[in-house]
Amino acid sequence: MMTRETISTTHRWVVKIGSALLTRDGQGLERGMLLHWVEQMAARRKAGCEIVLVSSGAVAEGMARMGWQRRPRALHELQAAAAIGQMGLVRAYEDCFQAQGLHTAQVLLTRDDLANRVRYLNARTTLRTLLRLGVIPVINENDTVATDELRFGDNDTLAALVANLIEADLLILLTDQDGIFDQDPRFNPNARLITETWVDDPLLDDVAGGSVTGFGTGGMVTKVRAARLAARSGTPTVIGPGRGDAVLTRIGRGESVGSLLIPFQEPQAARKQWLAGHLQSRGRLILDAGAVTALRDKGTSLLAVGVKAVQGTFNRGEVVSCFDETGREIARGLINYAAADTDQIKGLSSACFEAILGYLDDPELIHRDNLVIL
């Protein structure tokens, strides 16, 4: 179970910064604060922690540049504001991270990108590659092209889904509040900060309120919802004060900052349960005895060399079931190759993949992180 003390050992964070923090409540980018957060993220990155940044602020920055006092309601005006503001937002991050000797990469997503399995896997592969290269991905919703049906609705939700996507160890939602209180601190001076609780605590439903600014689309209710989404893959969430002194550094040290919302399951257990119980199998692989032993006894990934037969029609990224030669299901997982390609490379070493298929995506058919033994 995640505790404050074990946060210091985590190696992959998703950090979300909201519009009210970034734009001085809509008055333009707060570059001093932005640099303050970047310095902390850079220090964490240089210490070995991978960082993905989900940043709001494009619409608010666009509004400030255009002199608009109220957030537009028309979708085309919101898209225009996002397009205008995105230029300044990304430039600001690039300048700040470059000063710390780090590269950044802009990643724009819509809900459709994470609902479509091929796009989901492409986004996941790209983000993991960027992290491996030491780059800081800066993610925002692709407001310029997203329709209402394809929108996440708020960047808290986007951050949680990104945490699921890359299997983050920690989600940090920075806000203009100190965290979640047991009562509304704006009206009750005796309200107490909830420093730590289970993510499914019913009290959270009673005390989370909506956004009080006209620039963000979230509030504590969206942050609680996001924390519960992140918990599906076992990721804990800290909701903390973005304007606090060295808030990210203090969180990394295990200090009691903000509200820590803890999932009931460890990350690997949560993911395995999701694979085993919530996704429909699209095909079958028949394994030889050596592959069965390797999966069961050694916890390895599934290699094509151990596959004797391929049954069904499935696409890359879909769930397939693995059976031994007696017809007993022993495992299931997310496969890296479509059925037709899997059939061509079954029984072969990964060294042959490129010659046969014309490409090599992954050396494994199913990586052990995406495989559950039944």
* Residue range 315-373, pLDDT digits in tens: 888 889 999 999 999 998 889 999 999 999 999 999 999 999 999 888 999 998 888 88
For residue range 112-122, list pLDDT tens digits in order.
777 666 787 78
Domains of the chain listed by start with CATH number: 5-266 (3.40.1160.10), 279-373 (2.30.130.10)
pLDDT digits (tens, 9 = 90+) for 3-17: 888 888 889 999 999
150: pLDDT strictly greater than 50: no
Rounded-to-integer distance, Cα 316 and Cα 351, Å = 19
* Predicted confidence (pLDDT) at residue 90 exceeds the cutoff of 80: yes
Burial readout 240-257 (b: 16 or more C-beta within 10 A, e: otherwise): bbbeeebbbebbbeeeeb
∠ CA 71-73-78, nearest 5°, is 70
Of the candidates 79, 49, 20, the residue with the CA atom closest to the CA atom of residue 253: 49
Span 100-114, average pLDDT: 89
Between CA 199 and CA 236 the distance in angstroms is: 8
Is the predicted pLDDT of residue 182 greater than 50, yes or no? yes
- Among residues 311, 178, 309, 320, the alpha carbon closest in space to that of 251 is found at 178
Which residue type does 257 have?
Answer: V
The per-residue pLDDT for range 290-317, each reduced to its tens digit, is 999 999 999 899 999 999 999 999 988 8
> What's the pLDDT score for residue 205?
84
The pLDDT, as a whole number, for residue 153 is 61
**Residue 26 confidence class, pLDDT cut points 50, 70, 90:** low
3-state helix, strand, coil in the chain (%, to 5): 45, 20, 40
Task: Please state, for a pLDDT cut of 90, what percent of the chain lies above it.
Answer: 49
3-state class (DSSP) for residue 98: helix
75: pLDDT strictly greater than 70? yes
Please give, one letter per residue, the 3-state secondary structure of 189-258. Answer: CCCCECCEEECCCCHHHHHCCCCCCCCCCCCHHHHHHHHHHHHCCCCCEEEEECCCCCHHHHHHCCCCCC
For the cut 70, the answer to whether the pLDDT of residue 244 exceeds it is: yes
Mean of pLDDT values over 264-276: 64
Whole-model pTM: value is 0.76
Model pLDDT, residue 144: 67
pLDDT (0 to 100) of residue 189: 83
Span of 177-191, 224-238, 249-263 with lowest mean pLDDT: 177-191
Nearest to 203 by CA among 187, 180, 186, 226: 180
Q: How far is it, in rounded angstroms, from Cα 144 to Cα 137?
A: 19
